[in-house]
Amino acid sequence: MAERVFNVLFLCTGNSARSIMAECALNRWGGGRFRAFSAGSHPTGVIHPLTLELLTSLNYETSGLRSKSWEEFARPSAPPLDFVFTVCDQAAGETCPLWPGQPITAHWGVADPAAFAGPAEARRRFFLRVYTELERRIKIFTSLPIDSLDRLTLQRHVREVGETRGRSGSER
């Protein structure tokens, strides 16, 4: 019997950096148990060039990525969602659509790399730092015994994952 695949939506305002990074990372680290998507409340319509540069440097396939509205995932034809995670504070404060599947939700806010101002190399390092923080949370999330936890316990755990911080000296 095949294991169930959990659908996860990562939300941000512009869907150009953080949510795209999280989508890619979960699809990589989810071991086939998770199918990740991303969307924005007010999508920019384009993926930030440094997001694409970073993901390409980390050997992600980026050709199918696109910036899209969260409305796509509120339609009756959308996949039922098991989890919805906001990765920016602005999207977390907005009124979200009703999601098919009554997903478990949590806020996993991280800094906005697209808003970081500075020299090109500092901007690249900041994008990597944000990606690394999201990747760390995703690895913790994928290690949870989801099938054996009741809904309330699982909700508590995914919220705790969103509070996970920590940086090595090289990421500062």
User: Which residues are the active-site residues?
Assistant: 12, 88, 96
DSSP assignment of 45-107: SS--HHHHHHHHHTT---TT----BGGGGTSTTSPPPSEEEE-SHHHHTS-PPPPTT--EEEE
Q: Which residues contact 27 (CB under 8 A, 6 or more apart)?
A: 34, 35, 36
Q: Number of helices (H) and strands (E) in the chain: give both, helices first.
A: 5, 4
What DSSP designation does 15 have?
Answer: -
Structure-block tokens of residue 166: 């920590």
